[in-house]
Every structure is written in C-alpha cells, then in structure tokens.
Amino acid sequence: MTPDAINRLVAQLAKLPGIGEKSAQRLAFHVLRSPPEYARALAAALIEVVDRVKLCSRCFSLHDGPEGTFCGFCNDPRRDERLVCVVEGIADEMAIERTREFKGRYHVLHGVLSPLEGVGPEQLRIKELILRMQDTPIEEVIVATNPDVEGEATALYLTRLLKPIGVKVSRLAQGIPMGGDLEYADQATLARALAARRDL
Amino acid sequence: MKLLSLSYERFRNLEPVSFEPSPHATIAVGENGQGKTNLLEGLYLLATLKPLRANRLSELIRFGSPSAKVTGRFLINGAEREISVEIIPGGRTAFVDGKRAGSLDAYFGGVSVVAFTPDDLSVVKGGPDGRRAFLDRSVFNVQPAYLDESREYARALKNRNKLLKDHAPMSHLQAWDATLAKLGAKLWVRRRALMTALVERARASFQRIGRSPLEAQWHYEPAHLGEGIDFSAASEAELTERMLERLDARLTRDVERGFTSVGPHADDVEITLGDKPARAFASQGQCRALVLAWKVAEIENLQQANGFLPLLLLDDVSSELDPERNAFLMGYLADSGAQTLLTTTDAALVQRAAGADTKWFRVRAGTLTEEFRSASSTG
Ligand SMILES: Nc1ncnc2c1ncn2[C@@H]1O[C@H](COP(=O)(O)OP(=O)(O)OP(=O)(O)O)[C@@H](O)[C@H]1O
Ligand SMILES: [Mg+2]
Ligand SMILES: [Zn+2]
C-alpha cells in the first residue's frame, strides 16, 4: 500500500494541466528521492506565488508589490504611457515583451469574447480599460488579440468602444512569420497575407 | 498524382487488407452489403479527412475495435509519400510519412478526389443544405484554405446565434456581426469563383450527357441579399458591407427566431433545366445527368488548376445511371486516363471503363480477393 501522503501529492499533481496520473506519480517519487530542501523550496515557491502575486490594479498584469501599487510596466517612467497594447492573456504579453520592440504599456483582458462559452464584455477587463482612458493621456491602443474568430470579434468590440472617445485604434498586422518560412505557413495565413499585401 | 497502394485496418466491415490499385481503373464487384462502399469511404477519408457518408467519423471504426486506420502510398510530384489517417472515438490523426501532420495544409498538398455516389442524386431534388454541402466540397477541392475559413465562419455564426437567443446588448452583437460579415464575404467570393469556373463547363458537359434539347443552368442564390447590388461583380469589401447592412435590417426577425437568416449558410444553388427549376420538374434521369455534368466539370477544372487529374471514386455504378449515360461515363473515364476506383454489383455495367491494366477485385463479407480476367470477358 502506498502511504496516503504520497497518494495525496499524486492527486494534487494530477490536477495540473498536461499531467496525467502516471506523470504525477513520477513527479511525486522524484520529489521524494530529492533532498528534503528541494521539497521545502518548492512548497515555499508555490505558496509565495499565491500569496504575493496579484494583478496590477491598472493594467492587470502580474505583479508582486504591495497591495494598491502598480506593476513594473505601469511604474516604469521610460515606457510611453500614451501607447497601450491590449492582449488576451499574460502569455501574449510575455511574447510581445520578448521582442523588446514595444515600449508602451499593456492592458490584459484575461480572455476574449466568446458567447458560446458564456464570456461577454463584463467578464473581461474592458470597463477598466475605458476607466483607464479617463485618467491617463492614452493616444493609441494597439489591439493584439489573436487573429481567430473570438480575437477578431473582441478587437472589433474594442474599436467601436474606443474610436468615439477619440483614441487611435490599431491592430497587429497579420502575415507570414519572418525567417523564410513561407513554405511552412498554413493556407489561411498565406491567404490572409496575400490579401493584406502592400506596395513596394 | 497516383495512388500506389492502399491498406485498411479495422475499418468498417473490411478485413485487414493491403492492395495495389491499377494506375487506371480498379473495379470492386460484390453483392449488396459486402463492403464495396466501405472501400471507397476509406480512400475518400484519406484524401479529404472527411467522411463520405458517415455522420460521425467514429462510425468508421470496426464494431468492437478501439480504432481504425487507412494508409495509402501516393506518388505526388514525383515523390513517394505515405499518408495515413487513424480514427479513435472523438478524433482523427493524420500522418505523412509516419510523422503526425501538424498542420493539415502540409497534408493537403497534392491529393484530390472527386466522388460519385448514389446519394449525390438527392442534391437536385433535396433541400438547400445538400446543395451547399455539395458546392462546398467542390470549393474545398480547389481551395484547401476553404476548410478553415468555413469552420471559422460556422464558429462565428454559432456565437452570433447564441447572442440572438440570449438577447445580448447591441454593442456586443455588432462586434460579432462585423466578424461574421467579413468571414461571410470571404466564403461568398470563394463560392462565386468556383461557380464561375464550373458553370460553363457543366453546361457543356450536360449537352454531351443529357441528350436533351433543354439547357441546364446553375445559379448561386444568396439569401435575402436585398436589391441594388450585383452579387456576381461586387468586391469582397462591398459584400462585407452589404452583409452587415442585411444583418442589421433583419435583426428583429432574427432575434425572434434566434437564428441568423443572411449569409452563405442560408444560400442555395438554383439548378434549372430549360428555365424551369430542376428541383420541381427534372426527371430522375435528368437529375442524374445534371449531377454527372457537374462532376465532370469539376474534374476538368481540377485538372486545369492542379495540373493533374483527381482520383475518381464511383460508387455503385448500376444504381447511379441508366445504360446510355452509363456508357458515356465509362467511355469518358477510359478516355480521360484518370485513376479510378469503381464499385458495382454487376461487372457488365462497368466493362466499358475496363482496359488491359484494369484490376478486378471481388468483395465478399469484407474480404477483398483479386480476380484475374482478360480485358474482354465479363462476369
Ligand atoms: N463500423 C462497422 N463495423 C463493422 N461492420 C460495419 C461497420 N459499418 C458498416 N458495417 C457493415 O458493412 C456492411 C456494408 O458495407 P457497404 O456499405 O460497403 O456495402 P456495399 O457492398 O457497398 O453494399 P451495397 O451494394 O448495398 O451498397 C454492412 O454489412 C454493415 O453492417
Ligand atoms: Mg454501397
Ligand atoms: Zn500595471
């Protein structure tokens, strides 16, 4: 009989996305075999994450400062506060950040419009974006939602909301990834890129 | 493109089998219910990833088995490729040369197929959904991107219908209207282009097959598009604009019904024979000739677009055609040089499509046995 403590750990690990019962077991035994400091450090890291990481109350990025303060992006005076990039989630924000090209601020929606899944504007951080327009001099909003059906609808929704306020709204261009991958681009991407071709 | 070999594992009632088809006609003969259509269904799945007649892919798995698999070796642009599709309940996986085909486009490079089945006959007389599906298959055959585009459209449509039923606020609905209109216009343009490419050819081949003084005509009918726009000439942007207007104009009605009434999903193809709707007035034989003419047009168009002939699948040749049209079709196939897989209950009916390199198979209770016969004998 496996001790209950192990069963409990396996059960918790198996709840993680992408982790099946077997992998959970492997992970549990790995923890058990490792020096006890590892388990303590892991547990501390897990707890710290939930205790300290919150959402920035302005842009809803992740943030581990004290309650009521803003995140690193919002506090960085070198970042242009007139330019805001709207993303679906943290992973997209990280992807844009990796380019080191974007020097404005972010706004994380935490989802996209999806009536079939019961997600309407109220479930997203849209109201907060509009409120944000009132106390910061935002001139341009770049809507960087994914180019799928839900992402497009969300972008259109935001456009209709923001344009009347007098702010410039732009959308990420769609096309072929750089690096000569034309032959690997899927048909829909290629078709879109062809449609959005430009003069040289 | 040539199909070099084909194998089936746990597919419908077929016993595991692997065979090499003829470069031209391969003919499967058997009594009713023996597995002839199943044979074609497997190849159709391989070429399109879509079922030929099943409602759900899982129906293709042999009763009591966990999964089914079809594998084909093809010669595509001078290179041999192995393509296979595995089906488990709730999903399918495609492999190219043993590697999982991550994106399906890599997969759809060089295989195309046109199928003739007895079910096609209902296209003329049946409801508009059958005609749309028929048309969409033809578009997909020349434009693989159409598969994704029509899926996106369907998803946007479902979302909009949900909002209609929920009486969602206008601001939210409008965002989906705009998304739907953009995708809808794209499908319209694709369908329109196909109609343009096919209709003339289909009319001409109807003249050859139909043996009728009546003119056949196919006409795309966009539902509730309204006045003052020339559908055949409008740009994609104009169509987007028009669809948006119409969604708006019909909103009250659509909210009442909880269903969107404008867009490619509501359209129809009107088929006429001597200016009369074929749906109401065409005879059974005329219906057959109309479907046949369309398919022949499709074959010619694919040959022109791809530079090679599609694979042709003909199911149940006897029930599909009367003797004269059958003779035309068989002659056409023999002359075209296309690689063809035919099934029939009566070998005599397909004799004209047979040549020296024809391969004959007997299908009995899911088992395939090659039969050797001289080109002239029937049986
Ligand atoms: N998933 C399945 N597993 C096992 N057997 C199946 C499955 N689906 C269908 N069958 C069997 O396959 C047979 C039908 O095969 P098929 O439709 O290919 O016949 P056919 O030779 O085309 O007949 P016909 O000449 O009447 O069109 C039936 O006996 C049916 O029970
Ligand atoms: Mg059959
Ligand atoms: Zn912030």
Q: What is the CATH number of the domain that holds B208?
A: 1.20.1050.90
Which of B265, B288, B307 finishes a domain?
B307
Instruction: For residue A10, count other CB atoms closer than 10 A to its CB.
Output: 20
Q: What whole-number distance in Å separates Cα of residue B106 and Cα of residue B91? A: 19
Domain CATH number, residue B28 = 3.40.50.300
Q: B interface mutation test: which of A112, A145, A146, A152 has the most B CBs within 10 A?
A: A152
Q: Which ipTM score applies to this complex? A: 0.74
**Token representation of residue A90:** 């943290």
pLDDT higher than 60, residue B362: yes
Query: For chain B, what percent of residues have pLDDT higher than 70?
Result: 95
Q: Are residues B154 and B267 in the same domain?
A: yes
pLDDT digit string, tens, across residues B15-66: 999 999 999 999 999 999 999 999 999 999 998 888 888 778 899 999 999 9
Q: How far is CA A68 from CA A71, A84, A89, in A?
A: 10, 21, 21
Confidence of residue B211 (pLDDT cuts 50, 70, 90): confident
pLDDT digit string, tens, across residues B241-285: 999 999 999 999 999 999 999 999 999 999 999 999 999 999 888
Instruction: Say which range, B97-101, B229-233, B324-328, has the weakest mean pLDDT.
Output: B324-328
**CB–CB of B358/B337 below 8 Å?**
no
Predicted TM-score (pTM) of the model is 0.81
Q: Are residues B93 and B140 in the same domain?
A: no
Confidence of residue A59 (pLDDT cuts 50, 70, 90): very high
Instruction: State how many domains chain B has.
Output: 2
| Residue B35 beta carbon below 6 angstroms from any ligand 1 atom | yes
Q: Are residues B75 and B219 in the same domain?
A: no
- Torsion on CA atoms B309, B315, B319, B324, rounded to nearest 10: 20
Q: Are residues B147 and B255 in the same domain?
A: yes
Q: Are residues B63 and B11 in the same domain?
A: yes
Q: What whole-number distance in Å separates Cα of residue B184 and Cα of residue B246? A: 12
Q: Are residues B297 and B152 in the same domain?
A: yes
Which residue bears the tokens 């055949």? B232
Q: Are residues B272 and B157 in the same domain?
A: yes
Q: Are residues B253 and B287 in the same domain?
A: yes
Q: How far is CA B10 from CA B14, B132, B290, in A?
A: 7, 32, 36
Residue B338 DSSP code: -
B356 vs A199, more confident: B356
Q: Are residues B102 and B13 in the same domain?
A: yes
Q: In chain B, which residue's Cα lies nearest the Cα of A154?
A: B175
Find the mean pLDDT for residues B225-241. 95
Q: Work out the widest C-alpha separation in chain A, in whole angstroms.
A: 72
B183 vs A189, more confident: B183
> Which domain range does residue B68 map to?
1-112+310-379
Q: Are residues B215 and B354 in the same domain?
A: no
Report the pLDDT value the prediction gives residue B39, as an integer from 0 to 100.
97
pLDDT higher than 50, residue B379: no
pLDDT digit string, tens, across residues A7-40: 999 999 999 998 999 999 999 999 999 999 999 9
Strand pairing partners for B26? B341, B359
Nearest-neighbour CA in chain B from A195: distance (Å): 11
Q: What whole-number distance in Å separates Cα of residue A127 and Cα of residue A134? A: 11
Q: Are residues B78 and B48 in the same domain?
A: yes
Report the pLDDT value the prediction gives residue A61, as an integer from 0 to 100.
95
**CB–CB of A106/A93 below 8 Å?**
yes
Confidence of residue B323 (pLDDT cuts 50, 70, 90): confident
CATH 3.40.50.300 is right for the domain spanning A74-171: no
Residue ranges of the domains in chain A?
A: 74-171
Residues 6+ apart with CB under 8 A from A91: none
Q: In chain B, which residue's Cα lies nearest the Cα of A156?
A: B175
Which of B280, B307, B334 finishes a domain?
B307
Confidence of residue A43 (pLDDT cuts 50, 70, 90): very high
Q: What whole-number distance in Å separates Cα of residue B240 and Cα of residue B183? A: 8
CA geometry: angle at B241 spanning B235 and B244, to 5°? 140
Q: Whose CA is nearest to atom 11 of ligand 1?
A: B13
Q: Note the ligand closest to the C-alpha atom of A65.
A: 3
Q: Are residues B162 and B227 in the same domain?
A: yes
Mean pLDDT, chain B, rounded, equals: 90
Q: What whole-number distance in Å separates Cα of residue B173 and Cα of residue A153? A: 9
- Between chains, do B163 and A115 touch, taking CB under 8 Å as contact? yes
* 3-state class (DSSP) for residue B28: strand
Element (H, E) at A132: helix A126-135
Report the pLDDT value the prediction gives residue B322, as an integer from 0 to 100.
75
pLDDT digit string, tens, across residues A111-152: 999 999 999 999 999 999 999 998 889 999 999 999 899 999
Residue (of B58, B136, B64, B126) closest to B90 by Cα position: B58
Report the pLDDT value the prediction gives residue B109, as an integer from 0 to 100.
65
User: What is the CA A107 to chain-centroid distance, rounded?
Assistant: 9
Report the pLDDT value the prediction gives residue B114, as an integer from 0 to 100.
92
Instruction: Say which range, A71-80, B61-70, B91-100, has the weakest mean pLDDT.
Output: B91-100
